[in-house]
Amino acid sequence: MSLIETIIRSDVREREAYHVPESGGYLKLDAMENPWPLPEVMQQQMGDRLSHVALNRYPIPNYMELKAKIREKLGVPPGYDVIVGNGSDELIAIVSTACARQDRRAKVLAPLPAFVMYAQSAQFAGMDFVGVPLKPDFSLDMEAMREAIRVHQPSILYLAYPNNPTGNLFDTEDMLALIEAMKDTGLVISDEAYQPFAQASMMPYLPRYPNLAVMRTVSKLGLAGVRLGYMSASQELLTEFDKVRPPYNVNVLTESAVTYALDHLEVFNEQAAMLRAEREMLSAALNALPGVQALPSSANFILVRLENADAVFEKLLARKVLIKNVGKMHPLLENCLRITIGTPEENRQFLESFRACVAQPV
């Protein structure tokens, strides 16, 4: 046996690494990024601020200032705290590690299609992942969800609100019913990565449900490169998750940059409002194309269904337009493409290319 075969887990060896396509020179509408850079004045102020950060020191591990800013600015209920992570990806990994008990094989449940990291992180931590298909209209299949909860007694249920890659918000009453159904046996994580575009949140329900956690990120707001996620839940849960968190997981530059950015939250909120307006415009324009169905979205992307999605995706690539082909992710997504909302100019360029690609015979 080779060294790799001897030391690396077989399920890891069999995996492909998370694939990020080359995007240099492309109109990049594949990763739900905010298309605008920081305004110039903010770039200068941020640069000045970051130049004074003590890079020779470790971060203060309780991240007091950053957490206070998050609580103050981002709608965390009074009396509730947050845990911070290197992106919400790391928070998912932290929760998995904390919940992967070995005395009985713990399970993770999520409706599918969903964000891929829920299943991947469960697997890496040694938990079983149970996926329950959404209904064809992408709403929760409540009967199937209740049955899965009854049969599998999952430790964690992820509900992305809005969901990725479908873009819709699940019904609040359905979510509350599932939280209720798992009250004494499992944690429900409302993953609100796209909250700035949905303006809906489960945050107000935290005090009512001790088995609810609300996870968010600053990525989609406009700081994807900074890598900061946060999650609010009861202090009891946060205390346990904090034991698993690497002590200096958020670096001092991220801490300082986000603390500064949240003092200017209105700038990001205005950008989110512009993206919401662009989303409605783009959605209407796509729906006006014959054979193209843009699904209702509360996020900064739109899922479209069309014939020959693979061919259209390839033609767009040839025109240097990069979106995401999600058709192979799940049977419900057959012939679906996901388009991130860009600046008005980017959206105009995209529409022009998309129209041309859809009109061309295959």
Query: Which residues form the interface with ligand PMP (CB under 6 A)?
Result: 32, 87-89, 115, 160, 164, 191, 193, 217, 219, 224, 229
- Nearest-approach distance from CB 70 to ligand PMP, in angstroms: 13
- Nearest-approach distance from CB 361 to ligand PMP, in angstroms: 34
Nearer to ligand PMP, 292 or 323 (CB): 323
Is there a contact between 56 and 64 (Cβ–Cβ < 8 Å)? no
- Nearest-approach distance from CB 21 to ligand PMP, in angstroms: 14
Measured between alpha carbons, how far is 113 from 165 in angstroms, rounded to an integer? 7
Closest residue by Cα to residue 301 from 285, 318, 269, 324: 324
Nearer to ligand PMP, 190 or 211 (CB): 190
What Rg do the C-alpha atoms of the chain give, in angstroms? 21
Nearer to ligand PMP, 326 or 358 (CB): 326
Nearer to ligand PMP, 107 or 324 (CB): 324
Q: 158 forms bridges with which residues in the sheet?
A: 189
- Nearest-approach distance from CB 143 to ligand PMP, in angstroms: 24
* Long-range contacts formed by 112-120: CB under 8 A, 24+ apart: 112/330, 112/332, 113/163, 113/165, 113/166, 113/326, 113/329, 113/330, 113/332, 113/333, 114/158, 114/160, 114/163, 114/164, 115/158, 115/160, 115/164, 115/191, 115/193, 116/329, 117/89, 117/92, 118/92, 118/158
Q: Encoding tokens for residue 228?
A: 């900061």
Host H or E run for residue 253: helix 252-262
Nearer to ligand PMP, 109 or 358 (CB): 109
- Nearest-approach distance from CB 168 to ligand PMP, in angstroms: 12
Nearer to ligand PMP, 110 or 357 (CB): 110
112 vs 146, 161, 271, CA distance in Å? 15, 13, 30
Nearer to ligand PMP, 117 or 149 (CB): 117
- Nearest-approach distance from CB 111 to ligand PMP, in angstroms: 12
Nearer to ligand PMP, 69 or 227 (CB): 227
Is there a contact between 304 and 232 (Cβ–Cβ < 8 Å)? no
Phi-psi region of 16 (alpha: psi -120 to 50; beta: other; left: phi over 0): beta
Q: Encoding tokens for residue 127?
A: 């938990």
Phi-psi region of 153 (alpha: psi -120 to 50; beta: other; left: phi over 0): left
